[in-house]
Structure 1
Amino acid sequence: MKIRFVLLYLFIIINLCFAQGAKYLIITHDNFYNAIQPLARWKHKKGMPTKVVKLSEIGATPTSISVIKNYIVNAYNTWTPRPEYVLLVGNGTYLRAESNLYDDYYGNVTGDMRMEISIGRFPVGTALQCSINVAKTLGYERTPYLTDTTWYRKSTTIVREDGTTHPDTVYWNDARYAHSCWINASYTNIDSLSRLRGSNSTSVTNAINNGRTFVLYRGTATTTWYNPFQQVNPNNMTNGFKLPIIVSATCATMDLYYTDYLGDRFMNAGTVLNPKGAVGFFGTTISTYGNGLARLRGTVTQSFFNAVFNQRIYKLGDAAKRAKFVIDSIRPPYFTTDRYREWNLFGDPELNLWTTRPRTLTVQHDTSIQTIPQNFNVTVRNQTQPLANALVCIMMDTLIYQYGYTDASGNISFFVHPNSTGSISVTVTAQNFIPYEQNISVRYGSLNHDVGILSIIEPTGVINSSVPVIPKVKVKNYGSVLDTFVVAMNIGTIYSQVVEDVILAPNDTITVAFPEWISVPGNYLVLAYTDLEVDQFRANDTAITTVLVNISNDVGIDLILAPDTSHPVNVAITPRARIKNYGVLTQTNFTVTCSIIGSNGIVQYANTQTVAALTPHDTITLDFMSWTPTISQLCTVKFRTNLINDENPSNDQKVRLTNMFTGIYEQTINNIVPTTSINNVKPNPISHNHTHIAFSLSQTMPVTLKIYDASGAVVKTLVNQTLHQGIHTCTWNAKDELNRYVPEGIYFLSLHTSEKNYTKKLILSR
């Protein structure tokens, strides 16, 4: 037979229908459901799987924010794919925010205050306003304004100085930073408007009417920008589809409940056919004052432009989320969580930002295909150069939906098998490129010779080791004639078998079984393929899955509990270890051995205990017979499990070095009754992770001796028992209850008795 070498190319292409999850989740008040559909269809068509849900569908009212939040959290945790962007449709009357101030409540799905999902909002109160926001978004992203493309390299900063002296350092530093980003991006026109330079509302309106990609405002404000910029009225603008992103880095020029703020007016201005104002508005919802406020907001401002122009985060919601993340990460002086949460976004969070003039994609693919299994190949170029990371989506109603990104050569390949005639849409998008949209026709056709793997039946998923498995695959003849062919199966590199002379009629299926395989622990790639010399379509010849073979029989030493790394001579030791069943089968009647070897290599102690039963993944603590060391030496302590047929000997043994040292224990001196106290701690400061502690008791009594850290938390319990009258010593090895070394610092040794409590300060340094 012919030997086949199979080369696997792995790339991300996701097949799904509308119901299997979504990367883009739109939650809308019922009133706006129909109006938001054109945006949802576009997002889905371009390869951003989209789902639209009404409040009534999820049992929510406009004020039941926890119901809405729980729906998003569940989607994030259970959907495939899960939401990366959430668009809220409706102003605060129709879809409430937390405390009427914070939309990031909906994007914080793990409960740590920070947003995992990018959140945006259309602050609309009518279906018409929703349609205006949709038209602006589509006009910006899908059909960009091309009559005059110079506006894509124009931006504006507005500084409203607080005082009468130029410059206002904080505000101007932010403006200059934005300028530097735009200059580095080859912008050709940058306005620097300022109150002290004589600029006013008309200056702002004229700039926006002329077309600006970004407009930054720095200065004081509430509800609207302050004099001389308070007369900026988006409804009086004539910028059409030359729509900017507004960054309003000041107090509360947007609100998530009231609707007559500047942010709402920028978003809802104009009509569907003649839009005005802006396509996005990033600002704050809190009006306040205090130390460092301007600098804190300046951090977010600069971080937003750094995200877009330097870190190349080209989606509006992601850039806003990144800016918020930065201030939370560095937490400058006077930072509070309000400085993170006050920033909110009006607009589409997945909006692809323009940072230069739109360019045209060159896309190559078949213009017509047949109703047969095949690879549909797409090549994307920037003029003559391959374009990597272009998003390509093909869609045929709900029958075919696949998307992925081009490789370094500008190529991507989709396996398709249309089962009916019609058309498939091909959509390609890339940063700063005009979207490519084309339909291809699907006509009837068939193949004579085509066999392939339908599925791998066994082995798949998770199985136990040492189990006999009969590998099986299901094979289909997709062609129109009877064929005879070979089927092969590989399991990692440890199993390779073929079945020859498989005969299959057209459109029939058959299950092919291979010789038995005894499962061996490991994680394996399972590969099955057909081999037909005259096969006319190779894409369905191969199937791949994985199988994880768990270890059935595996016990080992999980932790040595005693002795510690040091122990005094002439004091009894009870060796102790924790044993764990790492396998998936219950183990019975196996032994565990403890041995202690002296520095001369001679075994000083050996003892064996039996474990009657240990269930999978459980642990048991074993105490061995006690032993008393009599000489000072460095001993090797070994614990070993002895399980017949143990499949993983690597965890069977643990070893610890224990220093047997000379100490004084439970002694009285010259028959003098001692007083209860901590007598000595040496060395202190503690060095080399060891210190010896001596304490005395005036009578037999219950005693606890504990180490506390500076916060008052218990680090280690050294003694917790009844001791006789006399002097006692013990050792602390600078470890906690979990046998982990503690950090350097201040600690406290506390002796608790029925008479009195005693405390001594310890200093640990390394």
Structure 2
Amino acid sequence: EKFYGTDAYYPPTLAGLSEKLVIRGLEVRNLQIYPVSYNPGRRTLRIYKKLRIRLTFSGGGNFIPKRLRSPYFEPLFSNLVANYSSLGAPELKRSFTEFKGPIVMRTGGKARVEGADLLIIAPDDMVDSLLPLARWRLQTGLLTRIVPLSEIGSSPTADDIADFIQYAYDNWEVPPSFVLLVGDVDMVPVHYKNIHPYHNTRTGTDLYYATTDGSDYFPDIFVGRISVDDNAQLSTVIGKILKYDQDPERTTNWFNNVLLAAYEQEGRFFVTTSETVYVHLTGYGYNCDRQYANGNPPGSTIGVLNAINGGVVIANHRDHGGSANDGCGGSTGWVHPPFYNSHVGNLTNGDMLPFFFSINCESNWYDGETDNEDCNYESLGETLLRAPNGGALGLIGATRVSYSGYNDELDKGFFDAIFPDFDGTYPGAGSYNPLAGPLYHLGGILNYGKFWMYDKYVVPGGCPPYPWIPEPEVTLTEFDEFNYIGDPSEEIRMAYPESLIVNHPPTVPLGQSQIQVQVTDLLGSPLEGIRLAIGQGDTLYSVAHTDASGTAELLVNPSVPSEIWITAWDPHYLPYRGTIMPMSEGPYVTVLSRQIDDDSTGLSSGNGDGFPNPGETLELTITVKNWGSDTAFSVEGLLITEDSLAEIQESLQVFGNIAPGDSVQGAGSYVLSLSSLLQDGYYIPLTLRLTSSEGDTWLSDTWLMACAPLLLYDTSFVSDSDETIDPGDTAELYVTIVNDGHAPAENVEALLRSLNPKVIPIESLSTYGTVAPDSVAQGTPFVLFADTSIDFHTPVDFVLEISAGELSFQDTFSLMIGKGGDYLVYDPDPNHSSGPLIAALLDSLGYQGEYTTDLSVYFDELPYFNSIFVCAGIFNNNYTISADSPEAESLASYVLNHGGNLYLEGGDVWYWDPLNENGYNFNPIFGITATADGTSDLQKVAGMDGTFTEGDTFNYGGENDYNDHREPDTGSNSVVIFSNPLISYNVGIANVDTSESGLEYRT
């Protein structure tokens, strides 16, 4: 009413900018224009037919850091950002001739590592199975590296893995564009950060492996997960990927077929969204099989199966979905038309493998192993991916309940990613470089869909035809819960793949040179934007995209005359895979091998393990080989390094005459002194400058990898009766460290610093002695004092400064001060009717405790709480504590093993839930017999004489007046403390514990 009397126009401005968001270094904002404004006081509407808006940029012309600019993000930016051309033209050629590291990173990636376009993180025992996929991705032009989990840490958490990815993003010369997680969630964990507004539990997500820039939840990397349980399943998935990429099924043109499945439901827009997609795809010439349950044309399970078995490139679904992980029952998959995990066995699509856009609720709930439910069922995405004789190559879907409106725009965004003119008013039409245009890799399609959804639905506060208004917590949930099961770098084929004609020289000289490559179609027409990659073994030399003439130049630098591979890749064509041979006329000499001597004899000084360790002096013997066709005469080799952490003391050696094909060891050894500050895994680059008496010069690169200790925090425990430090306590803290490096650490000490002034290390130094590689050590105890003023349940961060001789390391960890407390209020009641009031009252009385709606957070701490209050709520919006659930087991254990003091309230928790809803039966441990469900008859509650409630009388005013009836067990210590005086049945019962200190109400 006050607003409608205001003499002011709303909106108050004609234009505005949304909050700043960051996508891989690029700051973006949504420009909002308000051509219509209203003055309610004057009842006047203003409509502007034409507006001129000026945008100014205060940060200069560098819109995105050069290091972060990725060719794989160019299509996303070109389709999403209105002033994309302001970014300037991207580089079409990338050289990796200096990047000679192994394809499997064994150094944690935090030393001299060049980076990766595609970073694969996997359990150690799956690395070998991944090599065929990693090498294929490398040969298609993605600098690819595998990091075994053990290189990140022992049993790394989701935060540990995210920290590693963040380091790579911040420090690597080539920061990851794609991150592929391999393994189910019990191997590579998901994040649980945010409470889902419907489930009231935390949402499982891989999103936060990708949010590496800015403070928003917009992903800066394309992330996906090959969720498998073992190497057999992994080999199945990789076999499907390689078949699809290298030799797709081409007996029929199934690449022109799309499945659109939906459900016609009043008040929802499942079919409306699907029809929008249908109109556009048929306009592009695609055959769309519409399966609309309860709609026109009609749809069915048989129709869905027939469509997939006949071959489709995309299987799109808009409707409801479900997971057996939700409530531990039911089916997982699509509701209408029904297509569940149980139907996947009926698929016979073989190598005609689609990608699923499963835009519904829960069908991608892939974290059943760790979601704290008492059951574990595989998601639809996992089942399709692992299917051995068909199934799918990947699935985008939600891990929990998702939301209409959001989902409809998300789905449309996927298709605008693939077809940039899907929405002609959006950026993306009219690309001006070969990298701009459609997005075909699935990681990009997922991210783009989320950005589109945010722009189209969230920023304007909703959009037609949807009646709903977006809410911040739901927006966050949508970003969290939609994840991709599959390889995010996999590209979808949207056309029948024809062959490429690729012209390149059959040979190249040894050493660095450039070659020109031309690509045409079968008719000889030049093809623009084809990605060319060239390399040797596991080394990628360079990547380039063809220009409008179909040509590109590639840099090569072979040092040995082994086969060079060259690949031409585009998802709409068959890949070209060719070879080039390095040739040499005359002599050509390079490093063949090297041997390290650190045995402290001669000029060497070290521990004799044959590895470069910090502070050692090495004798380095080098063997060279003549790969050429003529003898190399009077060869000498000068060893050079520009690295300040290594000093070459003896740099020149004689190799003499070397016949063609022969190898010769130097007459003596090179001598290098290594800095004592070298870190584990640090690569020291070396160049051997070889010359002959005939005037030849050859530069041959090699390197040394430092083997040093890498000391990190591992675990800790408090030596106290309750294994925790309470306010006012002085206690010993034992900290275990791990040596994740490749060399022993001697004379190890650690200094402990507290980042909270209320927790003071009285003894701050611990000694560990010698710690061998891949081992842990427990030091002498630290002693901590916690001030009485610190609150219970306060996390305190510590810095552990570890030293070993001249080497120093630093790590952090946290301890909870005062585990437990006076009370814990667990309030799963959806209405939260009494839990907050109980907590507020206890706080006002000076008790210290916690309030939570998620008991799993406190499972380990329950024994440390003096009392627990559980509020399950009243029918018909109450909470059932399921039988055999972790929360039921934890609460029962608290009663039976930790002194009781558990208060439990709920209208149906005693009689109705155990009998009808698979609820846990708490009655025996409370000394209660439930006698009836109760009817609508609870109006008054009265205390009982002889108990602490004597004289209390309350009028009941809850959500409804249904309440289970109950009686004390005969012969138990239970007594009635509240009854309904009007109908005469019991409302509250306490279990009196008389075993120790007289009457003490226990439950």
Query: TM-score, with normalisation over the residues of structure 2?
Result: 0.41
Contact 1:181 1:306 in 2 (8 A): no
Q: Which residue of 1 aligns with 2:338?
A: 229
CA contact (8 A) 1:60 1:67 kept: no
Give the equivalent residue in structure 1 for 2:348. Answer: 238
| Equivalent position of 1:439 in the other structure | 579
Aligned match of 2:212: 109
Distance 1:118 1:505 in 2: 51
Shift of 1:394: 0.9
Match of 2:352, SS? coil
Q: Which position in structure 1 is the counterpart of 2:987?
A: none
**Take 2:513 and 2:126, find their aligned partners in 1: how far apart are those partners?**
41
Q: 1:416 Cα deviation (Å)? A: 3.1
- Gaps of at least 5 residues in structure 1 are 1-8, 449-503, 510-766
Whether the aligned pair in 1 keeps the contact of 2:395 and 2:485 (CA below 8 Å) is yes
Match of 2:127 in 1: 33
Residue 427 of structure 1 corresponds to which residue in structure 2? 567
Query: Residue 272 of structure 2 aligns to a residue in which SS?
Result: helix
Report SS of the residue matched to 1:380: strand
How far apart are 1:413 and its partner, in Å? 1.8
CA distance in 2, matches of 1:170, 1:446: 73
Cα offset, 1:24, TM superposition = 0.2
Which residue does 2:827 correspond to in 1?
Answer: none
Matches of 2:513 and 2:222, distance apart in 1: 37
Pick from 273, 277, 292 the counterpart of residue 193 of structure 1: 292
* 2:146 is equivalent to residue 146 of structure 1: no
What is the DSSP-based 3-state SS (H/G/I as helix, E as strand, rest coil) of the residue aligned with 1:360? coil
Matched residue, 2:941: none
Tell me how far apart the structure 2 counterparts of residues 442 and 133 of structure 1 sit (CA, whole Å). 35
Aligned to 2:697: 507
TM-fit CA distance, 1:17: 2.9
Q: 1:204 and 2:304 equivalent?
A: yes
Residue 365 of structure 2 aligns with which residue?
Answer: 255
Paired residue type of 1:152: F
Are the equivalent residues in 2 in contact too, given 1:18–1:51 (CA < 8 A)? no
Note if contact 1:234-1:265 (Cα within 8 Å) is conserved in structure 2: no
Shift of 1:399: 5.9
Secondary structure of 1:236's partner?
Answer: coil
Residue aligning to 2:97:
15
Match among 408, 417, 440 for residue 298 of structure 1: 408
SS of the residue aligned with 1:15?
coil
| Residue among 309, 314, 334 paired with 1:214 | 314
Instruction: Please state whether the residue corresponding to 1:294 is helix, strand or coil.
Output: coil
1:58-207 equivalence runs, <5 A: 58-61=152-155, 64-99=157-192, 101-110=204-213, 111-148=215-252, 150-162=253-265, 170-196=269-295, 198-207=298-307
Task: Give the CA deviation at 1:444.
Answer: 2.7
Match of 2:915 in 1: none
- Gaps in structure 2 of 5+ consecutive residues: 1-90, 102-113, 193-202, 324-332, 369-375, 421-436, 459-471, 589-693, 700-1003
* Contact 2:526/2:550 (<8 A) preserved: yes
Partner of 1:353: 492
Superposed, 1:701-716 pairs within 5 Å as: none
| C-alpha contact 1:96 1:256 (8 A) present in aligned 2 | no
Change (3 A) 1:43 1:508: closer
2-structure distance, mates of 1:187, 1:266: 27
Is the 8 Å Cα contact of residues 18 and 49 (structure 1) preserved in structure 2?
no
Q: CA deviation at 1:69?
A: 0.1
Q: Work out whether residues 17 and 398 of structure 1, in 8 Å CA contact, stay in contact via their aligned partners in 2.
A: no
Contact 2:519 2:546 in 1 (8 A): yes
Q: 1:260 to 1:139 in 2, by over 3 A?
A: farther
Question: 1:308 is matched with which residue: 418, 428, 436?
Answer: 418
**Residue type matched to 1:391 in 2?**
R
Alpha-carbon separation, structure 2, partners of 1:215 and 1:398: 36
Which amino acid counterpart does residue 502 of structure 2 have in structure 1? V
Aligned counterpart, 2:443: 317
Contact 1:372 1:419 in 2 (8 A): yes
Of structures 1 and 2, the larger Rg is shown by 1
Conserved 8 A contact 1:85-1:350 = yes
- Native 8 Å contact 2:357 2:396 kept in 1: yes
1: CA distance between counterparts of 2:339 and 2:481? 22
Partners of 2:317 and 2:413 lie apart in 1 by 15
| SS of 1:42 mapped into structure 2 | helix
- Distance of 2:520 and 2:208 partners within structure 1: 41
> Aligned pair count?
434
**1-side partners of 2:406 and 2:303: how far apart?**
28
2: CA distance, partners of 1:236 / 1:337: 36
Provide the rounded CA distance (Å) in 2 between the counterparts of 1:253 and 1:176: 22
Whole-Å separation in 1 of the counterparts to 2:285 and 2:336:
32
Q: Decide whether the 8 Å contact of 2:257 with 2:288 is kept in 1.
A: yes
Tell me the distance in 2 between the aligned counterparts of 1:269 and 1:424. Answer: 34
Equivalent residue letter for 2:122 = T
> What secondary structure is seen at the aligned counterpart in 1 of 2:350?
coil
Deviation sequence 1:325-375 (CA, Å, 0-9, x none): 122334539953112221110111111111111121110011233335533
Which residue matches 2:530?
390
Is 1:379 the counterpart of 2:518? The answer is: yes
What letter is aligned with 1:176?
A: E
Match of 2:72 in 1: none
Given that residues 169 and 212 in structure 2 are in contact (C-alpha distance below 8 angstroms), is that contact kept between their aligned partners in structure 1?
Answer: yes
- Asked whether the equivalents of residues 243 and 276 of structure 1 are also in contact (C-alpha less than 8 Å), the reply is yes
| 1:340 aligned residue | 479
Higher strand share: 1
Match of 1:50 in 2: 144
| Alpha-carbon distance, 1:446 to partner | 4.4
Cα distance change, pair 264–445 in 1 and its aligned pair in 2 (3 A): same
CA distance, structure 2, for counterparts of residue 198 and residue 331 of structure 1: 29
Query: Per-residue displacement from partner, 1:247-293 (whole Å, max 9, x unpaired)?
Result: 1111110123126344244434432xxx31111100111126xxxx3
> What is the alpha-carbon distance in structure 1 between the residues aligned to residue 367 and residue 395 of structure 2?
16
1:367 aligns with 2:557: no
Name the residue aligned to 2:78: none
Which AA in structure 2 matches 1:181? H
Provide the rounded CA distance (Å) in 1 between the counterparts of 2:695 and 2:378. 71
1:744-765 deviation line (CA, Å, top 9, x unaligned): xxxxxxxxxxxxxxxxxxxxxx
* 1:41-63 Cα distance to aligned partner (Å, 9 max, x none): 1001111000111111110526x
Structure 1 residue 145, shift from structure 2 partner: 1.4
Cα deviation for residue 508 of structure 1 reads 9.0
CA contact (8 A) 2:211 2:219 kept: yes
Moved over 6 A (4+): none
- Cα distance in 1 for residues equivalent to 2:358 and 2:145: 30
Gap change, CA 1:135 and 1:181, over 3 Å in 2: farther
C-alpha change, 1:145 and 1:69, in structure 2 (3 Å) is same
Q: Could you tell me which amino acid in structure 2 is paired with residue 371 of structure 1?
A: L
Letter of the 1:212 partner, please give it.
V
1:118 positional shift:
0.5
Q: Distance in 2 between matches of 1:25 and 1:230?
A: 34
Contact 2:278 2:288 in 1 (8 A): no
Partner of 1:434, secondary structure, is coil
Deviations, residues 537-558 of structure 1 (Å, cap 9, x unaligned): xxxxxxxxxxxxxxxxxxxxxx
Partners of 1:29 and 1:94 within 8 A in 2: yes
Alignment of 1:585-734 (within 5 A): none
Q: Which amino acid aligns with 1:390?
A: I
Provide closer, same or farther for how the CA distance between residues 195 and 334 of structure 1 changes in structure 2, counting only shifts above 3 A.
farther
Structure 2 match to 1:326: 452
User: Is the Cα contact below 8 Å between 1:372 and 1:447 reproduced in 2?
Assistant: no
Deviation, 1:445, is: 1.8
Report the Cα distance in structure 1 between the residues aligned to 2:577 and 2:535, rounded to whole angstroms: 11
1:198: Cα distance to partner?
Answer: 4.5
